[in-house]
């Protein structure tokens, strides 16, 4: 069965500190992986995506993610968090054809000053 696990429901980090949000997936075919961010009252914005090639992908707003096939993981990182990064983050997996995305339950990021 296809599934995405985000083990951390809430994470709190200090402004300026580094951040890592975890994502593990279970998928029968070649996974195509995404991270989305949702600010309060807003829709989902794509941060980055991975299809193939270099396993370290760069996204918008200074985020990056690393695909590790052996660990079935696609963790999101940022070296220095800003207060404006406080939001909910979703990891998702899909197939090349079919377009369905399977989402994780989300991780709420709080940033303390």
Partner 1 sequence: EAQVTQNPRYLITVTGKKLTVTCSQNMNHEYMSWYRQDPGLGLRQIYYSMNVEVTDKGDVPEGYKVSRKEKRNFPLILESPSPNQTSLYFCASSPRQTSQPQHFGDGTRLSIL
Nearest by Cα to 68 from 33, 112, 38: 33
Instruction: Kindly tell me which of 19 and 44 has the beta carbon lying closer to partner 1.
Output: 44
Q: CB of residue 103 vs partner 1: minimum separation in angstroms?
A: 4
Query: Which residues on neighbouring strands pair with residue 107, listed in sequence order?
Result: 89
> At its nearest, how many Å lie between partner 1 and the CB of residue 107?
10
Nearest distance from C-beta of residue 44 to partner 1, angstroms? 4
HSE (side-chain half, CA atoms, 13 Å) at 3:
4
Q: Which of 45, 65, 46 is nearest to 57 (CA)?
A: 65
CB distance 92 to 27 below 8 Å: no
* CB nearer partner 1, residue 15 or residue 103: 103
CB nearer to partner 1: give 45 or 55. Answer: 45
Tokens 């369905």 sit at which residue? 100
In terms of CB distance, is 17 or 67 closer to partner 1?
A: 67
CB of 76 to partner 1, least distance (A): 15
The count of C-alpha atoms lying within 13 angstroms of the C-alpha of 59, restricted to the half-sphere facing its C-beta, is 22
Q: Which residues bind partner 1 (CB under 8 A)?
A: 4, 6, 9, 32, 34, 36, 41-46, 49, 51, 90, 92, 94-101, 103-106
């Amino acid at each position: 069965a296809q599934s995405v696990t985000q083990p951390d429901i809430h994470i709190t980090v200090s402004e300026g500190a580094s951040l890592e949000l975890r994502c593990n997936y279970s998928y029968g075919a070649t996974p195509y992986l995404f991270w989305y961010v949702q600010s309060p009252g807003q829709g989902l914005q794509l941060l980055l995506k991975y299809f193939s090639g270099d396993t370290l992908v760069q996204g918008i707003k200074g985020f990056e993610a690393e695909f590790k096939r052996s660990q079935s993981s696609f963790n999101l990182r940022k070296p220095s968090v800003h207060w404006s990064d406080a939001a909910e983050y979703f990891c998702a997996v899909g197939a090349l054809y079919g377009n369905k995305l399977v989402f994780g339950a989300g991780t709420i990021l709080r940033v303390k000053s």
